[in-house]
Structure 1
Amino acid sequence: MGTTRSNGSLYTSIVNKVATVEFGHPASNSFVADLLKRLGKTLNELSENDAVHLIVLKSEGNRAFCAGASFDELLAVDNITEGKVFFNGFAHLINAMRNCKKLIIGRVQGKAVGGGVGVIAACDYVFAAEAAAIRLSELSIGIAPFVIAPAVKRKIGVAALSELSLSPNEWKNAYWAQEKGLFSKVFVGMDELDRELGIFAEKLAGYNPEALEEWKKVLWEGTGNWDTLLANRAEISGRLALSEETKKVLNSFKK
């Protein structure tokens, strides 16, 4: 059973040099600001933990992987400062994943929307289930996926990002996501996925940790400007979230 906590849940376990980090929220594992902050802090701590060679990032339950940002918190944004802070939550998390010294393996059991797709894109390797369809819905509510776009584009390229973002009501299936490079492997069932993920993580965690750390730096080359870039993107999103057009759409959803 998933968490009922309104500020979400976050659990970490470390076994055989592999840290498994599991986040959850009753609203389809969406991210409230507090949960984003706690997850970023956890990754920062694990980055410096010598007992950890590898991180597996997963979400609670057997349904949605992540519904993106908290809809209720987006509705509550009332001024430009609040808007920037709201969207900076994902900026800080993606940068924490980027800067983490340990490779991050994503486990995606179900659908991901918006910021959830950004989190997947910021993983270094991703095991996904057939049920893991993805969607970037931002344009349909009057904003756009500005903050997560650099992470998604890095994985799937501009053409696929265009296809995904410009059809905000269309789900792309797991095999589309694998073909474009977002998912590394796709499995029919979760039992097989978890078995293969366990074998993969055990092997990877057994390699020279210094080599893994140095190789991660290479994989993320060219992203050194993301602290500034993602903060600037958060400002654009915050401004658009306050626009009359967006507020009208959001209020119609609320009703």
Structure 2
Amino acid sequence: MSDNKPYVKLTIENEVGYIEFYHPAHNSLPGDILAELAKTITDAGKNESVKVIVLKSGGDRTFCAGASFNELININDEATGKVFFSGFANVINAMRKCPKFIIGRIQGKTVGGGVGLASATDYCMATKYAAIKLSELNVGIGPFVVGPAVERKLGLSGMSQIAIDANTFYPADWAKEKGLFTQVYQSTEELDEAVKIFAENLCNYNTEAMKEMKSMFWKGTENWDSLLAERASISGRLVLSDFTKETLKRFK
């Protein structure tokens, strides 16, 4: 990470596949990095030397700041908008279809699409700094693509609360109470140690049993390929609204 360039990488240690993504803009993810992330998750799911996957990001302060703002402000037609918002949809669907448990390692704040990624993990561990926010309404859109994944973890009440209150970071303990995070640790070092122990212990279990359990946990989401594509179309249309264009100009 010394050259500060965006990346997605898979590292395998003791049968645990650590998938790490990074972008210097607070881990906000442009389309090419999202596509690479989806492919890496899919490939790790097929890799026989990987029994359990850990999803993590580089850097200390932010797990994921959502979609790339630079790409967002350059959308000028619905088709481009749909492709843009399909980026996180494709990663969430790759996580959903992956036959292996994915453990989330959330070291810092997470916003928008990042909350969707955390919600799409099968077991999610965080630090006390991992506050969450769904900020999409601020720019005249809404958390349409990530909504199903977030609602699946937080429930409709929790998801709608943070979606409507789009200016507020909700603390990690709130996310734990709602069921997004399983544990909250005082430091990244404690989190990493706990993730390592937990993931490596899972590797001792029957892979077929874990695959069947994952299938059971995700039952009822079989329509998400089409559902998330429809949601991406809604966002792609709304991003062209006068409200959103004017708002983005101010941010620009």
Query: Would you say same fold, with TM above 0.5?
Result: yes
The answer as to 2:56 corresponding to 1:58 is yes
| Residue in structure 2 matched with residue 162 of structure 1 by the alignment | 160
Deviations 1:24-70 (A, max 9, x none): 00100111000000010011111111111100010001110000000
* AA in 1 matched with 2:4: T
* AA in 2 matched with 1:243: S
- Contact 1:54/1:103 (8 A) holds in 2: yes
CA distance in 2, matches of 1:3, 1:140: 33
Structure 1 position 207, deviation (Å): 0.6
Which of 240, 248, 251 is residue 250 of structure 1 equivalent to? 248
CA distance in 2, matches of 1:250, 1:179: 34
Alignment of 1:1-255 (within 5 A): 4-5=4-5, 8-254=6-252
Identity of matched residues, %: 52
- Contact 1:3/1:26 (8 A) holds in 2: no
CA distance in 2, matches of 1:216, 1:57: 16
SS at 1:168's partner residue? coil
CA distance in 2, matches of 1:77, 1:191: 40
User: Quick one: structure 1 residues 3 and 78, their matched pair in 2 at CA, closer, same or farther if it must change by over 3 Å?
Assistant: farther
User: After TM superposition, which residue ranges in structure 1, 4 or more long, deviate above 6 angstroms?
Assistant: none
Structure 1 position 148, deviation (Å): 0.3
Structure 1 position 2, deviation (Å): 6.2
SS at 2:176's partner residue? helix
SS at 2:36's partner residue? helix
- Contact 1:11/1:23 (8 A) holds in 2: yes
Deviations 1:177-213 (A, max 9, x none): 0000111110011221111111111111111111111
CA distance in 2, matches of 1:147, 1:91: 6
Which consecutive unaligned segments of at least 5 residues does structure 1 have? Answer: none
SS at 1:77's partner residue? coil
Structure 1 position 3, deviation (Å): 5.5
Structure 1 position 10, deviation (Å): 1.1
CA distance in 2, matches of 1:84, 1:11: 26
SS at 1:90's partner residue? helix
Q: Which moved more, 1:35-44 or 1:189-198?
A: 189-198
- Contact 1:69/1:114 (8 A) holds in 2: yes
- Contact 1:62/1:109 (8 A) holds in 2: yes
* AA in 1 matched with 2:234: I
Which consecutive unaligned segments of at least 5 residues does structure 2 have? Answer: none
- Contact 1:3/1:24 (8 A) holds in 2: no
CA distance in 1, matches of 2:31, 2:220: 28
CA distance in 2, matches of 1:223, 1:73: 29
Structure 1 position 4, deviation (Å): 2.4
CA distance in 1, matches of 2:3, 2:195: 24
